[in-house]
Every structure is written in C-alpha cells, then in structure tokens.
Structure 1
Amino acid sequence: MTYQETIGYLYDRLPVFQNIGARAFKPGLTTTRELCKALGDPQDKYPTIHVAGTNGKGSTSHMLAAILQKSGYKVGLYTSPHLKDFRERIRVNGAFVPEDFIVKFVDDQKSNIDRLSPSFFEVTVAMAFSYFGEAKVDVAVIEVGMGGRLDSTNVITPELSVITNISFDHMQFLGDTLGKIAGEKAGIIKDNVPVVVSEDQNNEIRDVMVAAAKKANASLIFASRVYEVVYQGVREGKMLIDIKDKVSGSRVAEGLATDLTGAYQLKNIAGVWAAKEVLISKGWKISEDALADALQSVSAITGLKGRWQQLRTQPDVYCDTAHNTAGLTLTLAQFASVSKGVKRFVVGFVGDKDISTMLSLFPQDAAYYFCQPSNMRALKAKELQSMASEHGLLGKAYENVNEALEAAINDSLPADAIYVGGSTFVVADIKSL
C-alpha cells in the first residue's frame, strides 16, 4: 500500500474516537499489551515521562520534550489528536515519523490488527512505541489520550508522571464528579515513580491524588504549592515570566521568555518547572541555558500549534484548541483583554460536549460566526446557531471555519479582534494554521 492507502486503511478498518466518539472507546489495556508484546515490548526499552490531565497536557508534553531536546537528548513525543497531519502524533526531536515507517508497520501488523480488532488509538500508541524504539530515543514523552487508568498509553512504567489539572470533560467515560475524574487521571501513578501535579485545585482532588500516591509509595509534589509563575508582560511576541519559590520567597528564575503566550500556560509552566527539578534530582542533565532556549521556542522545536496562536493582525485573529468549560473560561478571559474594538467569535463544537454550559461563557455584546468542524461528531452550524440564540448570542451560520473566518475578517475594522475555537477540530480546519 502507499502511504495514503495505509492511512485510509487505518481510518476505515479501525474505530476512530475523533470521528465516532463513544463507539470507538475501548477502555482497558489488554489489547495494547498484546500489540506491544507482538512488537517485543518496545515501550520498556527507553525511559518515558507520562503526562495526563484535563487541560494543558499537550502543552506540558511539548514543553518537556523541548527542554529535554535542548539539553542534548534524543526525544520521542507522542500526542493526540493531530491537527493537520497524522504524523504529528509521533515525533522524534520535532520531526514527524516517516511515511515509510507507517506503511511498513501497518503491513507487518495486519495479522495482529485482524486478530485483536484494536481501536485506531491503540494501534497509534503501539506504532509510537515501536518507532521510538527503532529510533533509539533517549527518552519519550507520552501524552495520555483520555483519562489515565484505562488509557492505552498506561502500559508504560515511566521515570516521572505528571498530571496537569482536573476539570469536567468526557464525563460519560470518566465520571460525573471531580473526584471520580481525578481517580481516573491518578491511574497513571505507578509504584515508586514520582508524580507532579501542576495545580493544587481543591480538597476533593487533592485527597484522591494523595491517596493514590501513598498507595503507590510515590513521592508527590503539587507544583502550585511550591512555585508561582509571575507574569511580566509580552515583548516581541514572547510572554515574559519569573519563577518564584513560594517556600523561600526567592525568585529562582527571572526574565524567562516563552513563545506560548496563553495565560493558562502560567499554571502549566509551574508543573513543568517542578517536573524539571524532579528529573534533575534523578540524574538528568538540564542546564539553565537549555531551559531558557527551550521555553522561548517550544513551537519551533516541537511543532506545537493551536495554543493561543495569533494568526494575523489588523484585525487580530487568535485561535485556541480549548474545548471544555475550564479551558474556554481561561481563553475567553484572555481574549476579553486583547482589543478595544469589536469582538468577533468564529465558533464550532462537536455534538457530544456540554454545549449549553460552554455557550454561557461567551459574551452577548459580540458578533458571532457559527461553523462546524469537518468531523463526523460535528454539531451542525445551524443547530449551533439556534442553541446560541437561546443564550443571546446572535450571528450567521457557515459551512466551515474558513468561510466563517473570511466573513469575520471582511466585517472587521483594524482594531477588532477575532477568536476562533470551540473545538480542537475547528482549529485543525483553519487553512492558515
């Protein structure tokens, strides 16, 4: 098969969560373990870092990969879903997995795919582990797909576990309380493996994390208790920050710059900083210069896209992959401060989310351009338009995000600002991304 035929086979033969949702969800590790066993368990042949969380796990994974790469290590990075190209999911030192590897892997594993009937995600996880082994990486950063305890990635025993935060998302799979969701995320905590939790959010979540770490005899750090990331403004497109040690009151870093300018990154960076300290304590060599170089060029080093990314100016256009109540709360608050002109929103959602709650976060004194992602789970733009009107959000419906964005730009004066988002898949459809 050609590469395109191979990708077509994967999408046609295997259940894909991003397309069909719950019907593709296969909780449990048995199939992934069988796939990995057939490959010689490559995931056990190099150190790994496991990253879970409701929001921020992608950014955190990319930052850690960038820091380790700038420190001289050969770094594998597995993330999902992809925005533009399937190969985004599997990278080594920022470079996509080669097409010929994917073709050969799928051809070699067809008998196992037929025998085990894995999900699309299970195959991609096994593919990533195999490629990282073949590439002889020094370390691989592995982002959880959903939850943690029953996620396919949870067949690894990492050097370090990181959990960014807990909020409501995928409740039909992970539970309807923060405590239940935290329990699923805490499922990545392994015996005697240190864990960093980026945010100390509340007693309910804290108790779950403490109990899980105690049961596993794993050291636990709540990064937000130890470090405060202090915002110092934006200069030349980079966010300037200081890192304050809350225990001593001293600043352990001053004048750091990062190309990830979303305000929510302040919380993620606290977790990354704590994770970096744990890695250093375990013998990993990470210099101050490598850290500074990595943070200011995360997107260039790892190819991260769609996290509070500015696409143009006059009018300013920002996109963000925030796709749940907690994530949108933060990005919409930041968007409210970016311009004195008219605020315009190009928004679309997938249909199996809590759309009504998310719509309640958007301001009524703004212009709306409703669209739908090119995804089988998409909420139709006309239906979204109707739902939004019940929240006082008025605008026209468009077939896709690019038509909606073009209309918003055409309607704008230079001082206006446009937000594009609501779903990862809406951002993925932007031609100029």
Structure 2
Amino acid sequence: MNKLPTTLSDWLAKLETMHPKAIDMGLERVAQVKDRLGIRFDCPVIIVGGTNGKGSTCAMLESILLQAGYRVGTYTSPHLLDFNERARLNGELASDEALIEQFAAVEAGRGEVSLTYFEFTTLAVMRLFAQARPDAVIFEVGLGGRLDAVNVLDADVAIVTSVDIDHTDYLGSTREEIGFEKAGIFRPGKTAICGDPIPPQSLVDHAQAIGADLWLFGRDYNYAGDKQQWNYGGRGQRRNSLGYPALRGANQLLNAAAALAALEALRNRLPVGAQEVRNGLVMVDLPGRFQVLPGRPTVILDVAHNPHAAATLAQNLNHMAFHPYTYAVFGAMQDKDISGIIAQIKDKIDHWCVTDLPLPRAATAEQIRQKLLDAGVIPEAKAGAERTIQTFSSPAAAYANALSRAGENDRIAVFGSFLTVAGVMEARRAEGLS
C-alpha cells in the first residue's frame, strides 16, 4: 500500500498527477465518492456561479452572515498564495492539519474512482464543512456550473452573477450556450438568482423548464444609489442607507444586490438585521479584485482574465484620479481571449511589462507581445518613449521593472491570470510588503 503524504504541499503535488486530465467535466465520479463519504448538509447551501463576480459575491455573503453571528463555511477557487485560502470556516482559513485529515478520508473513500485535483479537493472541503455543522455554507463554482464538481450539492439558493465568453473549450462559444451551462446549478422549486442585467434566454428558459424560482435583476430585485449610499429593493424586503462595499469597482453593486437577494430568499432560515448588512459590506475583504495597495506609485491588483473583466478594470481605472503614466504587468493563459482583453484596456495603458507564467498552458510573454503589436499598441522604441512593450520571465521581474520606471504619481496595474497577481503578491511578501 502506498504511503500517504504527510504535508499539505506533498498532498497537493500528488493530486496534480493522480488523474489523466486536469479538467474532466462530469458529476458521476464525484457524486459516487460524495455518497460513499456520507457528505450532506442540513443547513442552507448557497452556490455561486458566473463568469465574473463569483468571488466577490461569496465574500460579501460570508462577511454579512459572519456579522450576523452565523457559523459559515466558504469555499472559493483558485487561491492566490496558499491553498488554505480555498476553505474558510467562520472567516478563518482551514489549517494544514484539517485539510490533510480530509484528504486522507477522500483517498480512503474513493476506492478505484479517479478524481481530478479540483474534484478531490472539493470533496475534501465539503467533508470538512459537513463535519463542522455550520449554519450556512457558500460554494463557488469552479468552471461553468452544470458539470462542475460543486454541482453535486443541491443549492437552496443558486446565484449566477454574470454570463460572458470564457472557457469556450468547455462551455461553448456564445452567451446562450454558456448561460445554459451556468444555469445548471439551479434546482426545481429553489431560488435561482441571475445578477446579469441582460440574462441569456437559455438561462431563463432552463429555470422555467425545471421549475426554479427565478429572480432576475431589474425585475425581482434592484438597487439605486447616489455618491454617498445605496438602497436595495427586493420582492418583499428593502434595505436602505447602505454604505458602499469595501470591494472597489464598477460591478460590485450588482454583486452586492445579488447577495442581498439571496439573503432575502433565505430570511426565514437566516434572518439578518440592517446593521449586520451594513457592517458586512463595509468589512468585506477579497485580495486581487481591483485591490488598490497603499503607497506610491499606486499599485492595483486585479485578476481580470477575460474581456468582460478587462472592460470593468478599464472602467475602474478611468474613475481613478489622474496618473501621468500607467504601467501594466500582464500575463495570461493561452486559452484566454488575449486579443479581446487587450482591446478592452489598451487605451488605458502606456507601458506594458508582459510576463511568462509558470504553467505549460500559459501564453508566453513573446506571444502576448505579438498580440499587442497586432492590436496596434505602439511597439518598443528608444528609451524614454511614451509607449513601450517589454517581456519578462516572471511576474516578479515584470513588476520590479515597472516599479523601477514608474514615477511616484504613476500607477501599476497588475492583471490577467491569478498567477500574475499571485506572482507579484509573492514578490511583495518576500520584501515584507502586504
């Protein structure tokens, strides 16, 4: 019998090579192991899917419920620096020891069933939460919805935050095809919330076909606000004089309104007071989502890795105070619409520091450079030019270069893959910075 790993890093290394495919869509294998492990929840289960805004919506729900005194399990992915970020119990990261114990249980319970890294770790976190018997659990979908491992759970409330083009190899190439995949987390007779202001018809049709209770933004719930505060209005509940969420950015009120709609739907099981909502929104924290770091030059971290998210980032950059020059530290996966991302944000960037990433499926810095040239971004010229493109072997090296050239009134936008943002966060952590 093979000896089991004893450290979290050894476990994660083992899981990366256990299944022949990194992504293997389908629920049969996961459901089989879930049943063997006896994973079930008596508390409300909230599942959050969508192209962008999933992590922010989960963070707001978690923050509000914690302020209301509930015990909450929250599962999100991917992580930025430490795997433990994926599993939070009552706001605290799961310990290495707790995760190792659950990994061993899944390994013992899976028998001959082969699981991907994501499926295995998702089951481990589900078992961790089920044993903790919390008052509510929040699960973020990994990819799509219908065939994602998280979807072996039946959601009491399912939220689809937004629908746009991403992961076309798995989900389809149109909003209608992708909308159907996202709607797969809806359940008959249960609340299904769509936060996208223009929902795909496929999502609406699927909700109706299965008899889900569909809440549409603009029809069943809405928000209104001014520069100081905002109000939420739902089917039977109003929340007035709310402060803006601590998470910055153009779409955060859409995410916050979807979170409040979910809480309205659950108000008989998880009542939450007005002050708890206010406190939760003000105290919510989520690294890497238009995160503006203290100090000069201004540094912005944003995991915008598709055109929809890049358009939002461009809008957010537009709303900031004037900065003479903007530097970009950018790296992305090869399967992303890199040209689409560039098209949305190129007018906001003066100097591009593009980077390789430590994964085989990442686009090389040279490939990104070529796409920038194809998009009409002025190529590199002599030193001191108004616009430049330079390539680097790592996010840390790209960031160091941007930092060395940026003036104190300039800004550096670090965006693209989670690995781009994580690489810069790692470099800053090594220097003792936040």
What TM-score, normalized to structure 1? 0.89
Aligned partner letter, 1:399: S
| Cα pair 1:351 1:377 within 8 Å, conserved | yes
**Is 2:248 aligned against 1:261?**
yes
2:273 to 265, 283, 287: 287
Q: Is the CA contact (8 Å cut-off) linking 2:60 and 2:284 kept in structure 1?
A: yes
| Per-residue Cα deviation, 1:246-289 (whole angstroms, up to 9, x for no partner) | 999x9842251421012221221121122221121x33210111
Residue 320 of structure 1 aligns with an amino acid whose one-letter code is D
**Contact in 1 for aligned 2:163/2:179 (Cα 8 Å):** yes
- Structure 1 residue 229 displacement after superposition: 4.3
Residues 350-394 of structure 1: CA distance to partner in whole angstroms, max 9, x if unpaired? 111111221222335611111122223221112212221222334
RMSD, matched Cα: 2.1
- Aligned amino acid, residue 28 of structure 1: G
Q: 1:199 to 1:224 in 2, by over 3 A?
A: farther
Match of residue 6 from structure 1 = 11
Moved over 4 A (4+): 111-114
* Structure 2 residue corresponding to 1:228, chosen from 223, 229, 234: 223
Change (3 A) 1:258 1:176: same
Among 335, 344, 354, the residue aligned to 2:327: 344
8 A Cα contact 2:102 2:125, kept in partner: no
Q: Is it true that 1:214 corresponds to 2:208 in the alignment?
A: yes
Pairing of 1:162-311 with structure 2 (within 5 A): 162-202=159-199, 205=200, 207-225=201-219, 226-230=221-225, 232=227, 241-243=229-231, 245=233, 252-280=239-267, 282-299=268-285, 304-311=286-293
Give the letter for the 1:165 counterpart: S
Deviation at 1:51, TM superposition (A): 0.8
- In structure 2, relative to structure 1, the CA distance for the partners of 1:244 and 1:383 (3 Å cut) is same
The aligned counterpart of 1:314 is 296
Secondary structure of 2:43's counterpart equals coil
What is the letter of the counterpart of residue 372 of structure 1?
D
Corresponding position of 1:25: 23
1:325 is aligned, of 293, 304, 307, to 307
Structure 2 counterpart of 1:310, one-letter code: V
Instruction: Give yes or no for contact 1:242–1:251 (8 Å, CA) kept in 2.
Output: no
Give distance in 2, aligned partners of 1:245 and 1:104.
Answer: 44
CA distance in 1, matches of 2:36, 2:242: 49
Deviation for aligned residue 1:112: 4.4
> 1 CA distance for matches of 2:422 and 2:40?
29
Tell me what 1:90 maps to: 87
User: What is the alpha-carbon distance in structure 1 between the residues aligned to residue 71 and residue 232 of structure 2?
Assistant: 30
CA contact (8 A) 1:264 1:331 kept: no
* Equivalent in the alignment of 2:336: 353
How far the C-alpha of 1:114 sits from its partner, in A, is 5.7
AA aligned to 2:71 is: K
- Aligned partner of 1:398 among 385, 392, 398: 392
Q: 1:277 to 1:168 in 2, by over 3 A?
A: same
**Aligned residue number for residue 236 of structure 1:** none
Q: Give me the whole-angstrom Cα distance separating, in 1, the residues matched to 2:418 and 2:191.
A: 31
Contact 2:176–2:203 (8 Å) recurs in 1: no
Secondary structure (helix, strand or coil) at the match of 1:296 reads helix
Match of residue 20 from structure 1: none
**SS of residue in 2 equivalent to 1:91:** strand
Q: Structure 2 unaligned segments of length 5 or more: list them.
A: 378-387, 429-433
Percent of counterpart pairs with the same letter?
A: 29
2:355·2:394 contact (CA, 8 Å) conserved in 1?
yes
Structure 2 length normalisation: TM-score?
0.89
1:155 partner amino acid: V
Contact 1:149-1:185 at 8 Å conserved across structures: yes
2:380 corresponding residue in structure 1: none
Q: Distance in 1 between matches of 2:393 and 2:255?
A: 35
